[in-house]
């Protein structure tokens, strides 16, 4: 499963369930000023298959998300992942082997200091480029697998534990500039594993053109103190149904890029027609080694991968994802077939006032 967070060690379902139950119980005792601020439970539940170089895995998965305002300025939010992975036994043995994976993805508190500054504390998604923070939830990504360079600049786990300042520096009708600046400490706890690092991201968005460009920086402050540089360009012309998303990342030992396009047509009855719900997607990945030191999750040899996908956006927040990929490298060429169906849920955590 090509996801950043699968590098975590397994933890127990019971502990996570208890944590969420405790969090809900504590938050339920807080008073909420207006009824619109009832805590919410959201997330995605899905079933995925992946056939990678002939090996097939079946993965039911759920990613719950909790967001709970506490007072007018404070918000607690968290996302977790629970999955079970099944794969046929090898060596002509009958039956299936299975393993499970459960972890918190992030747990952070957001304090709105002013109209342009939010202070984030806790375990947060590292804002390096865009994939980790925006596209990694299973109900958002156009492919069920991530791009090859997803781990560059995201420090393996994709999360930092410490503090972050973020917000909108300037917001005008014609343009806006957003920023993030963070510091993460070294944490070896299995739930909030993080490396000592600092970095940030800034983006310029032009709404009339649907264009966003941004740059990211991350510096590891432990072990080999590496720098990571990133840049992203998103172009999504208004009401066109077309998306272009791309990222470039350069680390001390490897660099690479991905560029993804998607399109939904309005020509046959709009986006909600039978044809309009179809979404062909394409993503090109390319990575280049600068040396053979393995520290960043990128393949040890130069690699190219083309992903061809066809998604279907069903009513009621459900998506079907299918894709075929062909990966090329000196280590061998192979095919990857992936399918998935994802339902996104969103409802109040309990009955509000």
Partner 1 sequence: MTVNSKHLILALVVLASSVALAAPQNQPPTTQENKGHAAAHTVQQHEDEGTRIFQANCSRCHNTPEGFSPRISGTIVRHMRVRASLSKHDEQELLRFLNP
Which residues would be at the binding site for partner 1 (CB under 8 A)? 34-40, 67-69, 75, 77, 110, 112, 114-116, 118, 120, 133-135, 137, 139-140, 166-168, 171, 176, 178-180, 205, 207, 210, 212, 234, 236, 238, 266-271, 273, 313, 315-317, 319, 344, 346-348, 352
Q: How far is the CB of 176 from partner 1 (least distance, A)?
A: 8
Q: Rounded to whole angstroms, how far apart are CA atoms 124 and 160?
A: 6
Q: How far is the CB of 51 from partner 1 (least distance, A)?
A: 27
Q: Rounded to whole angstroms, how far apart are CA atoms 160 and 121?
A: 10
Residue placing its CB nearer to partner 1 in the complex, 26 or 293: 26
Report phi then psi at 22, rounded to 5: -65, -45
Residue given tokens 């809900």 in the structure block: 24
Q: How far is the CB of 286 from partner 1 (least distance, A)?
A: 24
CB-CB contact of 163 with 182 (8 Å)? yes
Q: How far is the CB of 265 from partner 1 (least distance, A)?
A: 10
Q: Which of 252, 2, 8 is nearest to 123 (CA)?
A: 8
Residue placing its CB nearer to partner 1 in the complex, 37 or 84: 37
Cα 57-300-136 angle, rounded to 5 deg: 50
The two three-digit tokens of residue 162, written as one number = 């410490």
CB-CB contact of 59 with 87 (8 Å)? no
Q: How far is the CB of 177 from partner 1 (least distance, A)?
A: 9
Residue placing its CB nearer to partner 1 in the complex, 96 or 350: 350
Q: How far is the CB of 254 from partner 1 (least distance, A)?
A: 27
Three-state helix/strand/coil letters over 39-101:
CEEEEEEEEEEEEECCEEEEEEEEEEEEEEEECCCEEEEEEEEEEEEEEECCCCCCCEEEEEE
Please state whether 115 falls in left (phi above 0), alpha (psi between -120 and 50) or beta. Answer: alpha
Residue placing its CB nearer to partner 1 in the complex, 25 or 267: 267
Residue placing its CB nearer to partner 1 in the complex, 253 or 344: 344
Q: How far is the CB of 37 from partner 1 (least distance, A)?
A: 4
CB-CB contact of 108 with 77 (8 Å)? yes
Report phi then psi at 127, rounded to 5: -85, 70
Cα distances (angstroms) measured from residue 157 to each of 43, 76, 147: 20, 21, 15
Residue placing its CB nearer to partner 1 in the complex, 110 or 247: 110
Q: How far is the CB of 272 from partner 1 (least distance, A)?
A: 9
Cα distances (angstroms) measured from residue 247 to each of 69, 101, 116, 283: 33, 28, 26, 11
Residue placing its CB nearer to partner 1 in the complex, 266 or 295: 266
Residue placing its CB nearer to partner 1 in the complex, 272 or 291: 272
Q: What is the DSSP letter of 299?
A: -
Residue 45, SS3 per DSSP: strand
For the chain, give percent helix, strand, coil, nearest 5: 10, 55, 35
Q: How far is the CB of 317 from partner 1 (least distance, A)?
A: 6
Q: How far is the CB of 237 from partner 1 (least distance, A)?
A: 11
Q: Which of 337, 345, 328, 310 is nearest to 145 (CA)?
A: 337
Residue placing its CB nearer to partner 1 in the complex, 16 or 135: 135
Residue placing its CB nearer to partner 1 in the complex, 166 or 338: 166
Q: Rounded to whole angstroms, how far apart are CA atoms 105 and 41?
A: 15
């Amino acid at each position: 499963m090509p996801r950043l967070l699968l590098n975590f060690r397994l933890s127990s379902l019971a502990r996570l369930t208890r944590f969420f139950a405790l969090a809900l119980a504590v938050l339920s005792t807080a008073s909420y000023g207006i009824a619109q601020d009832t805590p919410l439970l959201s997330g995605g539940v899905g079933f995925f298959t992946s056939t990678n170089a002939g090996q097939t895995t079946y993965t039911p998965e759920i990613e719950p998300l909790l967001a709970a305002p506490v007072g007018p300025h404070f918000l607690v939010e968290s996302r977790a992942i629970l999955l079970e992975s099944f794969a046929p036994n090898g060596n002509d043995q009958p039956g299936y082997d299975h393993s499970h994976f459960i972890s918190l993805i992030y747990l952070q508190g957001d304090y709105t200091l002013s109209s342009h500054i939010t202070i984030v504390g806790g375990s947060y998604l590292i804002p390096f480029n865009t994939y980790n923070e925006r596209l990694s939830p299973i109900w958002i990504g156009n492919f069920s697998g991530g791009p090859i360079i997803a781990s560059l600049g995201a420090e393996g786990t994709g999360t930092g534990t410490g503090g972050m300042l973020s917000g909108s520096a300037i917001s005008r009708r014609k343009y806006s500039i957003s920023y993030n600046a963070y510091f993460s400490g070294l944490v070896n706890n299995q739930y909030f594993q993080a490396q000592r690092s600092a970095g940030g991201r800034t983006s310029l968005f032009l709404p009339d053109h649907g264009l966003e460009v941004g740059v990211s920086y991350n510096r590891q402050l432990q072990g080999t103190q590496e720098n990571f540089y990133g840049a992203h360009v998103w172009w999504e012309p208004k009401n066109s149904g077309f998306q272009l998303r791309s990222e470039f990342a350069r680390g001390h030992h490897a660099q690479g890029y991905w560029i993804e396009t998607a399109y939904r047509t309005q020509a046959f009855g709009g986006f909600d027609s039978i044809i309009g719900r179809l979404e062909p997607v394409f993503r090109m990945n390319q990575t280049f080694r600068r040396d053979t030191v393995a520290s960043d999750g990128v393949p040890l040899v130069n690699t190219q991968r083309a992903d061809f996908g066809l998604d279907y956006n069903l009513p009621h927040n459900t998506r079907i994802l299918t894709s075929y990929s062909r990966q090329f490298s000196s280590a061998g060429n192979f095919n990857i077939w992936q399918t998935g169906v994802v339902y996104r849920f969103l409802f109040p955590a309990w009955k509000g006032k």
